[in-house]
Structure 1
Amino acid sequence: MSHSLRGFRVLMGFSFQASRWRATFFLLSGVVMSTTYPVMAYGSKLLVDAAVSRDLAGALTAAVLLAFTVGLGLINALYYVDLLFAVAEKAGAEVDRRLMHVMAGIPGIEHHELPQYHDRLDLLHAERSRLGWMTNATAGLVRVAVLLVLSCILLAQLHAALLFLPLFGIVSFLAGRKAQELQRRAEETSAEPERLRRHLFETATDAHQGKEVRVFGLVDELIRRHHAASDVLLRRRDHADWRSAGLQVVDAIVTALSYVGAIGLVLTLAMRGEATPGDVVLAVGLAAGMNAIIATAVGYGTQFLRVLRVAERYLWLEDYAREARHDL
């Protein structure tokens, strides 16, 4: 846990060092974005109830609320997207600068001969672009938290049992985390065959080495070895992909059942006269929004964990460089 917190602090530090004000306003823009959907759902409830009761003043008030919320949401979304890429670009440049500084500071050349060093460095090199996106993942989780709190407040006004609806999101989150773990293990265990496959491909297609390959008749042998390495690589990664797909199926079934159950409960209350037509509209909007919240939470949560995993590889490189300098 402490290692993950350290990685989080380091990556967020890159964003705020590169562009402090943009990173701050980006997080605030995410909070504003998360309030628009619950407000629109509640405004729709007010509009339907006012229309049913023929309340012109109430209908106009609800319409103004909806129009203002939509306008604010559109303007905020433009700034959110602009800040998103601006912060990621500047943070990415800071990451590249730090990586060059750390790698150039490792004394000696012995580490270039270590296979375990190459395995980790290849994985870090392949995913270093993710290191600049920690602020985006954090903003997404902040949006999810605000959306969840506001949605629960509105759900509690309809029926206390609807507060259990967000709990079904735990299944989605656990499924997403497990799928991410499967992908991580597949990438780590296939790092060596991937490096071998890439080396064989470069050897066979390089202009200078290609001459020797053809002179000594090694084309068929290189192709055979390339196919063998690719088979190992694809087998491991395909196995992880299929298991991840199975988890997504379970997630979809649980999400659909929770959605149907929530709508059915409020419809039953409405038929008994214990809920208004606007409450049904609100329940439909919140239930659909809850599905979106769960999907967003899983997406950003998975991205957050993935970036943290890359951060651990970056921290490994920093620690390795520090220990190498200390041993001199």
Structure 2
Amino acid sequence: MTADELDPLPGAWRSLGRSLRMGWRSSPAMIATAFCTEVLSAVPDAMFAWGLTAFATAVIAHSGTQIAAGCGLLAAMAAGNWLLETVSSRVNQRFADRAAVVVESHIAELQAGVATIEHHERPAQLDRISVLRDHASALSDLYRHLFTLIGVLLRAAITLGLLASVNPLLLLLGLFPLPTLLVSGRRAAAEKRVEEAGARHDRLARHLFLLATSATAGKELRVARTGPLVRRLRHRAWEQGHRPLARARWVSTAWQAGAQALFAAAFIAALAYTAAHAANRTAAVLLVLAAGSRLSGYIGQTMTQLHFFRTIWLDCSRKLAWLEDYAAKHRAEAEWSAPERLAEGIRLDAVTFAYPGTDRPVLDGIDLLLPAGAVVAVVGENGAGKSSLVKLLCGLYPPTSGRITLDGQDLARTDPVSWRRRVTGTFQDFFAFEFRLRTSVGIGDLPRADDPEAVGTALERAGADDIARALPDGAETRLGAGWPQGVDLSHGQWQRVALARGFMREQPLLTVLDEPTSAVDAETEHALFDRYAVLARSGTRSGTGGVTLLVSHRFSTVRAADLILVLNGARVTEFGTHDQLIALGGHYAQLYGIQAEAYRTGLR
């Protein structure tokens, strides 16, 4: 299945079966209880029309005994129905709460289990994942709605049986809800197509809403006075997504009103026929009136359940099945685990890469060796492909062509989990984990996340130990101003915390530092890199042959690297030590000279 296709109806039913099996594994006992109580409650509810008819007949006949018996019967039916529905509702709610955790965890696991991050950047896939995420809770209610639908259909069947007891021809009344159900099903599918087509507008509207209400963008919105513009853009995006849906719903309403009018006309005709031909007209008319009106209500409930079934439940089941298939398809077919150490290094053979949905390569025909134990710097202008190279080496994307090998072992055939256990570092788009400082650093190496000594060492290596000392509770301080007793950090401090997280692992085979200190001054960055270069070349890390990859715009920092890789126009144009590249007098020497001159001018 591709990202842009959904299974036809047979596939949809199979996906529904998967969702049902997942729900069953959550709590079989609760499901069995909910089913029994829902089905049993249908009997007194549907038979209430018969009891009401018996009571009304007794009142007309002025029979005190029959009136008392009718009152008792109605009370028993009402009480039984209430008790069974209450039990069913409580059990269903408890099950839904439990299933919600299972479903949401399953969706998160599926997304996280995909070896690459491609599905986070393809618009078509994002639309499906967005709809699935927004309606994930609906999947936890799947059994409740299914049992409700079964219960309603059972009530309708009992009601038709009561009508047939008056006259078998009244069974024809059961045919007239079919247009209503048919219209409901078809219109639900049409509405879902419109909703999915507008998913990108909903995502944009949600993004703009978060933009207008988050602290991150607050400063710029206020200074630039762009708040009104953001509100207008959000309103426009919302209208583009919801106007077509509103039109589709009005069309649905018109069709459903016509179908309901057809049933109402048939019901009136049934009453007239019963009044004209029944032997016991009073009792017959009362029964048809009571049962027919309840049948109308059951039709409405069935329409509601079918609408939910077609627009949300079945659709979410199909999208969940698509995500499961996608995760299975993109799960790496590993032939081996990551090596324990590197002897030769990491080699790129004719590696070309273009991002999904584009034909323009950001890396084109890269051939190079990152030697084991080396500190390699990557430089180049913006858009040269530096961060893309980092993503490929981390296994976040597969090359479009060519291959990456670890001592000759194809990275594409290497278990991604085992490889990422041997990868560490810091990215320029790091995430601010608002945990306790100890946890925010420690998750860089989960087995040692609770080791105070390991966390302290990582903070020291990143030059962030002063942050811990300045916080009110040290490493136990909760980060994030939005939490009780939480403390916010500056962008530079958050970056150093992220850098410390990358220092947690002791023996990585690949360490990537992708603009890890862009928020600090050049002198601090230079000192941090020198400290890390010494550590990378020490016995602790060089014993594994680990490669350190530094991406930086500051040439004064990268000059201490063992090798410098120059990317220009998606290609490697130069490769060597700082002195070799300066002597070459090429692109690196030119950029280095420009930056050095700008720095000297700034000093004046």
TM-score higher than 0.5 here?
Answer: yes
C-alpha distance after superposition, 1:99-127 (max 9, x if no partner): 12212211022222211121111111111
**RMSD between superposed Cα atoms in Å:** 2.4
C-alpha distance after superposition, 1:18-39 (max 9, x if no partner): 2211111111111111111332
d(CA) in 1 for partners of 2:18, 2:306: 18
Partner of 1:187: 195
- Cα separation, partners in 2 of 1:97 and 1:198, compared to 1, 3 Å: closer
d(CA) in 1 for partners of 2:306, 2:135: 17
Partner of 1:291: 296
Partner of 2:176: helix, strand, or coil? helix
Cα contact 1:106–1:325 (8 A) shared by 2 = yes
1:196 matches 2:201: no
- Cα separation, partners in 2 of 1:67 and 1:112, compared to 1, 3 Å: closer
Partner of 1:316: 322
d(CA) in 2 for partners of 1:204, 1:149: 53
Q: Among residues 113, 118, 139, which one is paired with 1:110 in the alignment?
A: 118
Instruction: Give the drift of 1:312.
Output: 0.6
Partner of 1:33: 41
Instruction: Give the drift of 1:326.
Output: 4.6
d(CA) in 2 for partners of 1:83, 1:47: 33
Q: Among residues 5, 20, 23, which one is paired with 1:12 in the alignment?
A: 20
Cα contact 2:47–2:159 (8 A) shared by 1 = no
- Which 5+ residue runs of structure 1 have no aligned equivalent? none
Instruction: Give the drift of 1:221.
Output: 5.4
Partner of 1:128: 136
d(CA) in 2 for partners of 1:64, 1:248: 39
Give the 4+ runs in structure 1 shifted more than 6 A. Answer: none
Q: Among residues 303, 308, 315, which one is paired with 2:308 in the alignment?
A: 303
C-alpha distance after superposition, 1:65-115 (max 9, x if no partner): 333222212221221221121121111121122112212211022222211
d(CA) in 2 for partners of 1:297, 1:216: 53
Partner of 1:325: helix, strand, or coil? coil
Q: How does the TM-score come out when normalised to structure 1?
A: 0.89
d(CA) in 2 for partners of 1:255, 1:157: 20
Higher Rg: 2
Cα contact 2:45–2:78 (8 A) shared by 1 = no
Q: Which one has the bigger strand percentage?
A: 2
Q: Aligned residues, how many?
A: 325
- Per mean C-alpha deviation after superposition, the further-off stretch among 178-187 and 47-56 is 47-56
- Cα separation, partners in 2 of 1:183 and 1:208, compared to 1, 3 Å: same
d(CA) in 1 for partners of 2:227, 2:83: 59
d(CA) in 2 for partners of 1:6, 1:60: 53
Higher relative contact order (CA 8 A, sep 6+): 1
- Which 5+ residue runs of structure 2 have no aligned equivalent? 1-8, 334-411, 413-604
- Cα separation, partners in 2 of 1:324 and 1:266, compared to 1, 3 Å: same
- Cα separation, partners in 2 of 1:223 and 1:8, compared to 1, 3 Å: closer
d(CA) in 1 for partners of 2:29, 2:284: 41
Instruction: Give the drift of 1:169.
Output: 1.0
- Whichever residue aligns with residue 303 of structure 2, its letter is V
Partner of 1:97: 105
Cα contact 2:275–2:281 (8 A) shared by 1 = no
Alignment of 1:157-236 (within 5 A): 157-213=165-221, 222-223=230-231, 225-236=233-244
1:275 matches 2:280: yes
- Whichever residue aligns with residue 323 of structure 2, its letter is L
d(CA) in 1 for partners of 2:258, 2:57: 37
Alignment of 1:242-253 (within 5 A): 242-253=250-261
- Whichever residue aligns with residue 253 of structure 1, its letter is A
Instruction: Give the drift of 1:150.
Output: 1.4
Partner of 1:255: 263
Cα contact 1:34–1:146 (8 A) shared by 2 = yes
d(CA) in 2 for partners of 1:298, 1:227: 32
d(CA) in 1 for partners of 2:306, 2:190: 15
Partner of 2:115: helix, strand, or coil? coil
d(CA) in 1 for partners of 2:327, 2:321: 10
Q: How does the TM-score come out when normalised to structure 2?
A: 0.50
- Whichever residue aligns with residue 309 of structure 1, its letter is D
